[in-house]
Amino acid sequence: MAITIILPKYFSATSAGNAVRVCKKILDAEEDITLDASNLVYADPLGITLLGAALHDAFSWNLRVRISGLGEDVGGYLQRMDVFHGVDFVKCEPVKKRRRNRGDSLVELTRVDEVSDVDETAHRLAVAIVGRFPGIDPDEPPDEMSGYTVFDRLVEPIQYSLCELLENALTHARRGSHGSAFVWVAGQYYRSSKIVRLGVTDNGCGFLASLKGHPELRRKRHLDAILTALKPRVSCNRDLGIHDDSVNQGVGLTTVMRIAKHTGGRAVILSGNALHDTDGRSGSTPAGSIWQGVAVALEFRRDQLARTNFRELLPLVEGIPRIPLRFE
């Protein structure tokens, strides 16, 4: 026996509620799954990481997953992203693996399991994304004053954002019964719109569980938990004494959101039954659909990235001005 799950037309941040609804069906499946992809035309890094996480769960239950009706364009893209590793293809256009001969600039779906891998992974992905910007030479000589190249300046805010999100997912998300949570990451540079899109999705405890009991969390609802986590200097660790072997400042998410805003970009955050979109509606995911964990989509405009210094966007430490005062 197998159940058929119909993939929506768009599997992306702009229709994140739909993507979560479908992923929930995959997560709830108790028998083999046939994904009907005949309507699917577009998936972005957020959609890809959600799908990757949901399929991983199905495989961990030894379910067999087939996909049918996948069109050549979107199918080729998703295959290059390694989303369908382990999935059987039926009634699909034959998809050739054409990793390098297209202008779109993908960074394959990657699962990260260990905190010790975060720095290296974030650096590798950021370099891979910026390496696909046309006209940027990684080997140009550095600026004499700053010691930085344009390439370094472009890499830095992407790398910082990935580090913060991956580290959150491999620490905070692993609370309670979620000790073996994983995180999936994917990224893409869209040449025509000059936008970088990232997706980072974990299957951990979610914001509400990690901030439960935090004095800033007035109502125990998923949306309130997302908005509380985004406030500067809110941290489960610092304020609630969780993980007391290390001290977090509660500045990572705030700074990542500021980077997205500073570059003229946007963020979409999912957790539980809540969806926060910095560009539009925030509220609930479609009835009955929840994401157990946290999924974050980030968008950066390439033109603004080199002018974005994350250190200047870090929230102030109480009482310490960002620029040292001079008394002369």
Ligand X SMILES: Nc1ncnc2c1ncn2[C@@H]1O[C@H](COP(=O)(O)OP(=O)(O)OP(=O)(O)O)[C@@H](O)[C@H]1O
Task: List residues binding ligand X (CB under 6 A).
Answer: 164, 168-169, 172-173, 202, 204-207, 210-211, 229, 234-237, 248-254, 294
The binder of 105, among Mg ion, ligand X, none, by C-beta within 5 to 8 A per type, is none
Interacting residue with Mg ion among 252, 265, 272, 293 (CB under 5 A)? 252
Q: Tell me which stretch binds Mg ion (CB under 5 A): 59-67, 118-126, 247-255, 316-324.
A: 247-255
CB-nearer residue toward Mg ion: 8 or 250: 250
- Among ligand X, Mg ion, none, partner that 184 touches (CB below 5 to 8 angstroms by kind): none
Rounded Cα gap, residues 277 and 291, in angstroms: 15
Closest-approach residue to ligand X (CB) = 252
Report, in Å, the least distance between residue 46 CB and ligand X.
14
Q: According to CB under 5 A, which one of 121, 168, 210, 228 is a site residue for Mg ion?
A: 168
150 vs 169 by CB, closer to ligand X: 169
Tokens (6 digits) for 258: 């500021």
Instruction: Write down the least CB distance from residue 250 to ligand X, Å.
Output: 4
For the bound state, the minimum distance from the C-beta of residue 11 to Mg ion, rounded and expressed in Å, comes to: 27
Nearer to ligand X, 168 or 263 (CB): 168
Cβ closest to Mg ion, residue 254 vs residue 273: 254
Residue ranges in contact with Mg ion by CB under 5 A: 168, 252
